[in-house]
Amino acid sequence: NAGVTQTPKFRILKIGQSMTLQCAQDMNHNYMYWYRQDPGMGLKLIYYSVGAGITDKGEVPNGYNVSRSTTEDFPLRLELAAPSQTSVYFCASSSGTKQYFGPGTRLTVT
């Protein structure tokens, strides 16, 4: 079991560029989540999904989009990257309340 995997580990983007952060899980979990963590802050929920084809906004969705075409994958799309999106992004999955996290993607927008 690989658990939750995320790619890439690191990325530097220029302002206005776009990219997709990949997330996959092999635990057959229905629930998947995207968080961002800024320095000295807790994890803020960006988007979540309760199953394939169903997504919903979290606390900080602006500037992001998601899709969930399969149970395993939950990519996060950044359109028109801005410096405020510099952060560490974590993907997580769960079958209940306990969430399992990926190793994170460190994104810098300059």
Partner 1 sequence: DQQVKQNSPSLSVQEGRISILNCDYTNSMFDYFLWYKKYPAEGPTFLISISSIKDKNEDGRFTVFLNKSAKHLSLHIVPSQPGDSAVYFCAASAEYGNKLVFGAGTILRVKS
Give the rounded distance of the alpha carbon of 19 from its chain centre: 12
- Distance in Å, CB of 33 to partner 1, minimum: 7
- Distance in Å, CB of 48 to partner 1, minimum: 6
Identity of the residue, 1 or 40, whose beta carbon is nearer to partner 1 in the bound complex: 40
The structure tokens 């309340």 sit at: 97
- Distance in Å, CB of 4 to partner 1, minimum: 7
Q: Phi, psi at residue 39, to the nearest 5°?
A: -55, 130
Identity of the residue, 48 or 74, whose beta carbon is nearer to partner 1 in the bound complex: 48
Token pair, residue 19, equals 């990219």
